[in-house]
Amino acid sequence: MDWWLLTFFLGAILSLFLAEVPTIFQLFLLLCLAIAFYFHKKLRSSVGFCLGALWILTQAYLYHSQLPKLVIDLVQDKQSFFVEGEVLNIQVNPLNVLSENVTTTTSRSNQHKSQQHGVTKRFNLLVKKINEEPLNTPFIIRLSWQKSTIDLAQGQKIIVNVKLKPVHGLANVGTFNYVSWLKANNIVATGYVVNPPKKNSQDVTSDNKKNVLPTNSTVRQGLFDQYLGLSPSHELTPILLALTFGERSLLNDEHWRVLQATGTSHLIAISGLHIGLLAGSTFFMVMFIVHKLPLNNPRWQRINMRYIAIAVSMLLATFYAYLAGFSLPTQRALVMLNLYWCSRLVGIHFSVKRLLLITLFIILMISPFSLLTASFWLSFYAVAIIFVTLWRFKSWLYQGSAPWRFLKSLLIIQLALTLMLMPITALFFQQMSLVSLLANLIAVPWMSAVSIPTALLSVLLMPFSEQLSQWLMMLSLQSLSWLWYFLDLLSNIPHAMVVLSLEQQLCIVVFGVLIFVMLYLSPFIVNKVIQKSAMSLVVLVALVLMTSLVSGYLRSSQEQTLIVTEQGPLTQKFTPWQVVFFDVGQGLSVLITRNKQAILYDTGAAYPSGFTLSEAVILPYLQYSAIKKLDKVILSHSDNDHAGGIGALLENITIDEVISNDKGILNAISKPLVSNQSLVSDNMLSDCHAKQSLSWQGLTFDVLSPLVPESSDAVLNQGKQKNDDSCVILITDRLGHKLLLTGDISAKIEQQLLTRYPLLQVDILQVPHHGSKTSSSQAFIEQLSPRVALVSAGYLNRWRMPVTAVSERYRANNIKLLTSAELGQVIITINESGIIKRSYVEDLRPFWFSH
C-alpha cells in the first residue's frame, strides 16, 4: 500500500511538467494504460504513477472547461453582464475596523482609511446565475469593486454587473505567479463590478437593495464581526485577528517586515501547530476533568471516557479550522488528526510513513491543485522533518529529566527545521532570515503556551461572556507585545534577512542536501573511515558554499570591476548581452544587461492603490539575476504606463542616472521619498535628444529622436509629454546586432526617422505604441526589416492592441511578432552565434499551470 500511495503522489507531481492539459481522449488513453498495467504482473507497480497523473490532469481538464460558452463569448466581445452568486471569503466590516484611537504607524492609518466606504473591495464569488439563467455547474470568479457602497459579508448572495477575463497574470521569471495562485483556489475568471451611472442618494440606496438578496451571512462572518467589534485598539490587534480567524488583510507593511525578517510568518498562519495545540490541550483537559468528577453512576462507568475526550478534541479542532476558512495547512492537520484518533479508536497502528502518505492522498483528492501552493510543500516537508528528527535523535532526546528532555526536543527540532527549511523557503520566497533560529526558539514556545491559547479562549468564550473575552484578548495582546519587542529588535539587526539571487538559491539547496546527508543518512554508512571522510567532505563543502554565499551578499553593494573601454571590451572575446522584455501588461519595460550590469528602458505603470509594476516585476527579476544597481534608467516619455514605476525604483535600488526629457519627473517623485532625499538630485537627471551617443559595456546607444528643442522652455514639459516625444534609442554591439527601442511614437515620427536615417535597419524592434493602428507603418516595417518584433500589450486590453491590421503587416513581411500578452516575458540573448529567443510560456516556464 505504501508503494502505491507513494507512486500516486509522484505521478501527480510528474503531471505538472506537461506543457498543455491533455484532451479528453488522451486522458481516456491514460486510464486504459493504467488498467493494462494493473493486469500485467511486472508493470502493476506502475499503476500508481498513471492514476496520480490521471487524477491531477482530469481536474485540470475540468477546471479549463468550467466557463460556459456564453461567458466566453461575452468576454471576447468585452461586454458586461449580470451574475448572481455567493460571496465566499470573509469580509472586513468597515464600520468595525478598530477604533479611531488605535495607535499605529502611518501605513496602518492609511490602511484604516482604505477600509471605509467607497474604496475597492476584493472578493471571491461563487456564480450560480448569468443574466438570470441558472448554471448547471457553478464556478468561482474573483472580483474587485471600486467605490462600493454596500457592506459585503461571507455567505451573502448578490447580483452585480461585471466585466470578466479568463484567468491570466503577468508572466515573468522570479516573480509571484498569479495564475498558479488562481488555479490553486479554483478561480476561473477575474474582473470588476461595473458601477451604474451616478445618481442621487435615494437611487443609490435603491440600487444597493437590488444588489443584495435576502440571505444570512455565515456563522464565521458573524463571529468575526462580533470579535472585531470587541477588539481593543492596539497595534498588534491585526496579529490577534490572524491567530483567531486567519484574517491577515489588516496586517501592515511593518508587521510583515518584522515577521519576514525573523522568519516567524508561519506563526500567524493557522496551521498544524495551532490545530495540534488546541486538539492536544482539549484532550488532556477533558480527561483531567473527567477523572476529577465523582461519576459513580454505572452508566458512566461503562463509557470509555477517552472516546468523549477524543470527540471533543476533534470537534474543537474542526471548529477552529472552520474559523480559519479551512485553509490548506488546517486541512492537512485535520486529516492527520482524524487519522490518528480513528486509528487509536479502532486499534489500528499507522506508521509515520503511512500516516503521511495517506494524508497526502486524501489532501490531493480533496484539493488536487494544492500541489501548486507553497503552503502544501512547506507544511508536509516540515512535518516530515519533525518526524525524521525525532526518529534520528530519539536515543539522545529520551535521556534526562522531563524538563531537560523538553528543552532538548525544542532545540533540536527547531534547529532541524531552520536548517532543513532553508532550501525550500529560498526557492519559494527568494529570501532567507539569518535570525530565524533565535527568533523561533523564543517565539514558538511563547506563542504556544501563552499567546495562542488565550487568543483561542477569547473566541470560544465570546458567545458566553464578552467581558471575559475582551479580558483574554488583552492578555493575549500583552503577551504578543512582549514577544513583538524582541522580534523587532532582531529584525533591525543588519542583514537579519538576505534576499537571494538564483545562484545563491541553488547554493542553499546544495547546502541543504549536504546537511541532510550529514544529519540523517550518516548512520547508514557502515564503514567508519568512509563515514568520517564523508562527514568531513560534507562539512568542507558546506563551509565553502556558505562562505561564498555570505561574501557574495556582502559584496552586493560594491561596484564590479569592468573590463571595458570606450571602444568596447579589452578582450577580443565577444561577451553575450541580453534584452529582457518584461510582461508589464499595457505598458513597457525593457532591461539591457551585460556583465551583471544593467540599463532599464521604461518602468511600467503605477496605480492609485500603491501597486507598481517595478516592485511586482522589475525589482524581483533584478534580485533573481543578482543585479545590484541600475547604471541608467531611460524614460521614453512621462506617460504612467512607461514612467509610473520610477519612484519605487529609486526607493529600492541604486540608480546612477535617469534620462528623461521631463524635468519635473524627479520633483514629482521626490515628495513621497522624504526619508530618501539623498537619492533624488538634479544632477542625476539628463536629457534625451537626437544625436546623443554613449558607450556602455561595449554597446553603443544612439538617440535618434526627439530632436533638440529650439528653446529651453520646451524641455520643461512637467509631465505633459506626448507619445511623439518618446526617446527613441538604437543599441548596437561590436558584431553589428541592432535593437531599436521606440516608446510610443506614431507613424509621423516613423517617417521622420526614415527620412533622417535612410539606411536604418535593425535585428530586434520594440513595436511602437503597443501595436496601435497609428504606428507601424508599412514603409517603416519594410525599411527596418527586423528579424524579431516585440509587442508589450495587456491581455484582452480595451484597445485590442496589437490591432489585427498591424499584426498582419508584420507577418506579411516575414517578421516574427512576439506579444507579451501571449508569451509573457521574452528574453533575447545576443552572442557570437546570433540571436536566441526564449519566452516565459514556451521556454522558461512551459507548464500548463503557470500560464
What's the mean pLDDT in 142-147?
A: 90
Give percent of the chain with pLDDT exceeding 90. Answer: 45
Residue with grid cell 524592434, as numbered in its chain:
765
User: For the segment 40-94, what is each residue's pLDDT rounded down to a tens digit?
Assistant: 878 888 888 999 999 999 999 999 999 998 889 888 888 999 999 999 998 886 5
User: For the segment 240-297, what is each residue's pLDDT rounded down to a tens digit?
Assistant: 999 999 888 889 889 999 999 998 888 888 877 788 878 888 888 888 887 766 655 5
708 pLDDT tier (thresholds 50, 70, 90): low
pTM for this model (two decimals) = 0.85
- Whether the per-residue pLDDT at 608 is higher than 70: the answer is yes
Rg (CA), the chain: 30
Supply the pLDDT for residue 562: 33
Longest dimension (CA), the chain: 106
The CB-side HSE value for 435 (13 A sphere, CA atoms) comes to 22
Supply the pLDDT for residue 641: 93
CB 63 within 8 A of CB 183: yes
- Whether the per-residue pLDDT at 128 is higher than 70: the answer is yes
In terms of phi and psi (left: phi > 0; alpha: psi -120 to 50; beta: otherwise), the region of 595 is left
Supply the pLDDT for residue 534: 54
One-letter amino acid identity for 383? Answer: V
Supply the pLDDT for residue 300: 57
CATH class in words for 564-844: alpha beta
Distance of CA 794 to the CA centre of its chain: 20
535 pLDDT tier (thresholds 50, 70, 90): low
Supply the pLDDT for residue 540: 55
Supply the pLDDT for residue 60: 95
What's the mean pLDDT in 713-741?
A: 80
User: For the segment 435-468, what is each residue's pLDDT rounded down to a tens digit?
Assistant: 988 898 888 888 888 898 899 899 989 989 999 9
In terms of phi and psi (left: phi > 0; alpha: psi -120 to 50; beta: otherwise), the region of 509 is alpha
Q: Which one has a higher pLDDT value, 11 or 386? A: 11
What's the mean pLDDT in 379-402?
A: 81
Q: How far is CA 324 from CA 180, 238, 242, 311, in A?
A: 22, 14, 9, 20
- Whether the per-residue pLDDT at 171 is higher than 80: the answer is yes
User: For the segment 97-123, what is each residue's pLDDT rounded down to a tens digit?
Assistant: 544 433 333 333 344 334 444 467 899
Q: Which one has a higher pLDDT value, 115 or 163? A: 163
Supply the pLDDT for residue 541: 54
Stated length of the chain:
851
User: For the segment 540-581, what is each residue's pLDDT rounded down to a tens digit?
Assistant: 555 555 555 444 444 443 333 333 333 344 446 889 999 999
CA angle 557–559–560, rounded 5-degree value = 125
DSSP result, 663-722: TTHHHHHHTT-GGGGGG--GGGEE---TT-EEEETTEEEEEEESPPPSSGGGGB-TT---
Supply the pLDDT for residue 576: 93
What's the mean pLDDT in 611-615?
A: 93
User: For the segment 295-353, what is each residue's pLDDT rounded down to a tens digit?
Assistant: 555 655 556 677 888 888 889 889 988 988 888 888 888 888 888 888 877 777 778 88
